[in-house]
Structure formats: structure tokens, C-alpha cells
Amino acid sequence: MGPRELIGGAILPRAYPLGRMSATPRPTLGWNLDHSYARLPTVLFDACAAARFEAPGLVIANHALACELGLDMSLASDDELAAIFSGQSLPDGAAPIAQAYAGHQYGHFTMLGDGRAMLVGEQITPSGARFDIQLKGSGETAYSRRGDGRAALGPMLREYIISEAMHALGIPTTRSLAVVATGETVARGAGKPGAVLARVAASHIRVGTFQFAAGLEEIEVLRALADHAIARHDAQLADSPARYAGFLRAVIARQAALVARWQCVGFVHGVLNTDNTAVSGETIDYGPCAFMDAYNPDTVFSSIDHHGRYRYAHQPAIIQWNLARFAEAMVPLLSDDEPTAIARANEALDAFAPLYRAAWLAGMRAKLGLVREEAEDLALAQDLLAAMHAARADFTNTFRALSEERAVDGLEPWTLRWHARLAREERPRSKALTAMRAVNPAVIPRNHRVEEALSAAEERGELAPFHELLAAVSSPFALSASRAHLAEPPPRDFAECYRTFCGT
């Protein structure tokens, strides 16, 4: 079966007319691309080009995000958008590169790099912000090793919907601008339709990028990378003599806040290697990630995470471990005297645990409608989770039920305690409940619904389930009655055997 049959005619327009495009003026959309990363030492990247795709077809385009970037997608036809976002017809000013990086994967150090992605450029928005525009799945690069440089449609749609859901939940994340079906079949099992995801990020600089630069043992390269990252993410530090220590502390603080946000929505990243930890503090590289249904701290979804290294409850410790690798990479910049540099790195790392605990507790207080701070709040939150675990209560729906004053089986004694605690707040309970409904989502991208939407798209070319789920998770704090089914937990047998796959 060819890719057209796999995808279905519904989402694959006719073959992209390359000849005609060269004759007609190209729509400009509003591109304003810069290449500050490509001005860094050349050892940090490699020029690349997209593979040739004969029949790219637009699957989905994010017009609202495009608008925020200063791009008007309505100026281009779907075929033209497909050509642009699969790398076949690059925007004016594009200069694609693949970025070099290294990383600890499951604890083991490896050389990596963009093996299936290219950075088209950095779009400067009308308000002056800078965002990487990256095409993932666009073909082989110097860093592909034995990989084919390709991505399959299902996983790219998965990244699209989960990253957009995270954004709607207010959690820092890379975003998804478009998915284009390449028209190719990629070698994944019996063969899957290929696709390219256009991804938008504050930057794609990873802990692994710093590990790569540090490994070169050329301090000027490391310094150039750090100055670049500071200019992009912590510009207020740029002129400070202590800017590298300040940057290290800022990255640690952002990651502590980020992982606390994940824990508060039951998100399991699934593959928290150091190359998947961004210095921007955005969630990056959605592979085998998933939201948990029933609360269980040992939840692990990834089919290859045999020892549960990246299980839910372990995420804060793993992020701390990744930050220790980051601090190590930064050591040469922290002082000329190594013992002093190491002491500074350790001092910065010591802040992680208290920052994480404070961010988590603040998140849990908000989930429970609490504004005042009482010493017993930590125990109140922990006891709720213990009761939820015992009752196998659904994580998302339990908090939502509390905020809608619906009883949850197994939580009666705890609920009495919480009501007594709410009574000690200054605002009336009704106000607290309203605030809770703005932080406890009514709907998340549940695994069984995501799988349904992806198989409809991949196997039958039907995008309606994907669009319906995307619409629901894009407004997660309000769910219309017609979409109530999307909030229901999966059948127990689904939840018990659900596994996610990466590298696809």
C-alpha cells in the first residue's frame, strides 16, 4: 500500500505543482528571519537541506500561532503552505542548519545532534520577540547516524496536539505551527505515512548543546554559546560580570518551575534525556509522553523505559540530575579557579530542591483553592494524593470534581479536612471553587482519545476526531456538554496496558 492509500485522499491534496510555483510569485506571509545561532562557531551546526518530497500535503496549520509570529497563512494556498512547511519551498531569508548536541540518554553519554530536523531560521515577530522555526522529519543531516531523517505522521500529530494542550494549560512549551504529510512511506513496522512538523521554540538550545560545547574543550566556543543563550533567554544578565552563574541559576529556576507544573497536571514526559531538557525552560521533544489517568506515582508509559527511570514521581530528581550535567558543562565559565567554579556550580544546584518544593506546593495550593499559607498544607496535599492512589482515583477528574463540589469515592474523610481548611481562607468557598476551575483542567489529551484521533488520521485520513480533541484541549478549563465524553477516563484494561513508543 502506498502512502496515499495509507493517509487517504481527504488530507492529501494533489501533488504539489513545483513547476507552477516557480512561475508564480511566492507569497511572503510576513517572514522576518534572522540567524543568530548560525553566527556562532561553525562546529556547533551544519548547513543542511530538506529531502525532496514529491507530494507534500498540508494536514494542519496553526493560523493563530502564525498570527502571533507575524505570519499571515491566509496569503498562501494549502499547497503552498505544504511546500513551505516541508522544506520544499523555503521562505525568503531561510538558511537551514542542523544543530550539534550531545546528551545523556538513559544515563549514558552520546553524541547526537539534529538527525531529522532543520532550523529554518529565527522569526522576529512584530513585537521583536525571536522564535526558532524548525522542521522536524525533514530529512537526513550530518547528525543522522543510522537514522533515516524522517518522522511518521502519527507521532508528529501527537506532538502537535500535546504541545498545544500544554500551552493551553499555561505550561511553557515549544509550539506546533503545522504538520505536512510528505507523501512518502517511512519504514516503521509495516510502513507509515511520513510527515514533517513545523515547530516553534524560544530556542532549541538544550543541556546537551552545552555538553557538546564543553566536550570540545575550547572555552571560547562554550562562552559564545553561553552568551548567545543569555542574549536569548536572560538578556538582563548580558552585561553582568557574574552572568554565567546568573544564567545557571536562571536555568535551574526555570526547570524547577517547569517540572512542578508537569507534576501538577499529571504529565509524564517519558524521555527526559539531557538533550530533551531546554535551557529556555520550555517542555521540548514530545515522544513517548502522556498524561496519567488514575493517579499512581510509579506511572511509566514508555515501552523502552524498563526500569522506570522517567516515571512520574522520578521526574523532579531526573531534572535535577540533568541540571547537574548542565552545571558541569558550565564549570569552565564560572571561575578560572576550578575549586571556586565547582563550589559556585554546587551552590546553584542546591537551590533546585527548595525551588521545586515551593513551586509544587504553590501549584497544589492553587489546585485546592488556597491562597493563605498554613504549615499543614503540605500534608493536606500529600494525604490527598495518598488517598487518590489508594482509591485509584483519576488525577484530572478528582481535582475537577473537588472544584465542582462533586464527591469522590474514597476521599470523604479527606474532603471534610479540606472543607475545614477552606473555611479558614479569607474568601468564601464559592470564590475558591471558581479559582480552582481556572487551574484544574476539565479535559486533557487522554491517551485513549489521542490514540483514536491518531489512528483515524493515519489509517483512514480522517481528521475530524483530531480536530475535535484539539478544540477541546485548547480550552481545557471549560468543556461543553457535547464533548463530555472526552473527559471520561479510559476503560481500565486500556489504562493498564497502555504503552508509548519513541524514536518514531
Residues with a catalytic annotation lie at: 275
Nearest one of 285, 12, 24 to 158, comparing CA atoms: 285
Is the CB of residue 205 less than 8 Å from the CB of residue 278? yes
Q: Is 285 one of the binding residues for Mg ion (CB under 5 A)?
A: yes
Chain-centre distance of CA 217, in angstroms? Answer: 30
Using CA atoms, how far residue 494 sits from 169, 203, 294, 359, in Å, is 25, 36, 12, 32
Residue 500 interaction partner, one of Mg ion, ligand AMP, none, beta carbon < 5-8 Å per kind: none
Q: Is 188 one of the binding residues for ligand AMP (CB under 6 A)?
A: no
Q: Is 116 one of the binding residues for ligand AMP (CB under 6 A)?
A: yes
Contact letters for ligand AMP, residues 265-304 (x by CB under 6 A): ------x----x--------x-x-----------------
Considering the complex, what minimum distance in angstroms separates the CB of residue 254 from ligand AMP?
20
Nearer to ligand AMP, 138 or 440 (CB): 138
Q: Which three cell numbers stand for residue 127?
A: 513585537
Residue 116 interaction partner, one of ligand AMP, Mg ion, none, beta carbon < 5-8 Å per kind: ligand AMP
Residue 149 interaction partner, one of Mg ion, ligand AMP, none, beta carbon < 5-8 Å per kind: ligand AMP
Nearer to Mg ion, 188 or 365 (CB): 188
Contact letters for ligand AMP, residues 53-92 (x by CB under 6 A): ----------------------------------------
Residue at 317: amino acid letter: A
Sites for Mg ion among residues 255-284 (CB under 5 A): 275-276
For residue 229, the surrounding DSSP H or E stretch is helix 219-233
For residue 46, the surrounding DSSP H or E stretch is strand 45-47
- Please identify the residue of the shown chain whose CB is closest to the bound ligand AMP: 147
Alpha-helical segments (H) within 140-179: 153-168
Q: Is 209 one of the binding residues for ligand AMP (CB under 6 A)?
A: no
Nearest one of 402, 307, 363, 364 to 107, comparing CA atoms: 307
Nearest one of 164, 27, 135, 16 to 82, comparing CA atoms: 16
Nearer to ligand AMP, 83 or 289 (CB): 289
Considering the complex, what minimum distance in angstroms separates the CB of residue 445 from Mg ion?
20
Residue at 383: amino acid letter: D
Nearest one of 366, 360, 345, 350 to 315, comparing CA atoms: 360
Q: Is 150 one of the binding residues for ligand AMP (CB under 6 A)?
A: yes
Q: Is 191 one of the binding residues for ligand AMP (CB under 6 A)?
A: no
The window from 23-31, 106-114, 232-240, 350-358 that contacts ligand AMP (CB under 6 A) reads 106-114
Considering the complex, what minimum distance in angstroms separates the CB of residue 276 from ligand AMP?
5
Q: Is 503 one of the binding residues for ligand AMP (CB under 6 A)?
A: yes
DSSP line for 170-207: T--B-EEEEEEEEEEEE-STT-EEEEEEEEEES---BH
Nearer to Mg ion, 199 or 367 (CB): 199
Q: What span, in angstroms and rounded, lies between the C-alpha atoms of 450 and 157? A: 9
Q: Is 305 one of the binding residues for ligand AMP (CB under 6 A)?
A: no
Residue 502 interaction partner, one of Mg ion, ligand AMP, none, beta carbon < 5-8 Å per kind: ligand AMP
Q: Is 170 one of the binding residues for ligand AMP (CB under 6 A)?
A: no
The window from 140-148, 307-315, 328-336, 356-364 that contacts ligand AMP (CB under 6 A) reads 140-148
Q: What is the DSSP letter of 279?
A: T
Nearer to Mg ion, 99 or 123 (CB): 99
Neighbours of 241 (CB within 10 A): 7
The radius of gyration of the chain from alpha carbons, rounded to an integer in Å, stands at: 23
Neighbours of 12 (CB within 10 A): 23
- With 0-12 / 13-18 / 19 or more C-beta atoms within 10 angstroms meaning exposed / middle / buried, residue 159 is buried
Phi then psi for residue 263, to 5 deg, are -60, -35
Residue 367 interaction partner, one of Mg ion, ligand AMP, none, beta carbon < 5-8 Å per kind: none
Nearer to ligand AMP, 271 or 470 (CB): 271
Is the CB of residue 37 less than 8 Å from the CB of residue 99? yes
Considering the complex, what minimum distance in angstroms separates the CB of residue 97 from ligand AMP?
13
Nearest one of 219, 235, 302, 299 to 41, comparing CA atoms: 219
Nearer to ligand AMP, 116 or 254 (CB): 116
Residue 503 interaction partner, one of ligand AMP, Mg ion, none, beta carbon < 5-8 Å per kind: ligand AMP
Which of 66, 112, 258, 349 touches ligand AMP by CB under 6 A? 112
- Count residues near ligand AMP (CB under 6 A): 16
Is the CB of residue 33 less than 8 Å from the CB of residue 91? yes
Q: Which three cell numbers stand for residue 359?
A: 513551586
Q: What span, in angstroms and rounded, lies between the C-alpha atoms of 26 and 320? A: 47
Which residues bind to ligand AMP, rule: CB under 6 A? Answer: 112-116, 144, 147-150, 271, 276, 285, 287, 502-503
Footprint on this chain of Mg ion (rule: CB under 5 A): 275-276, 285
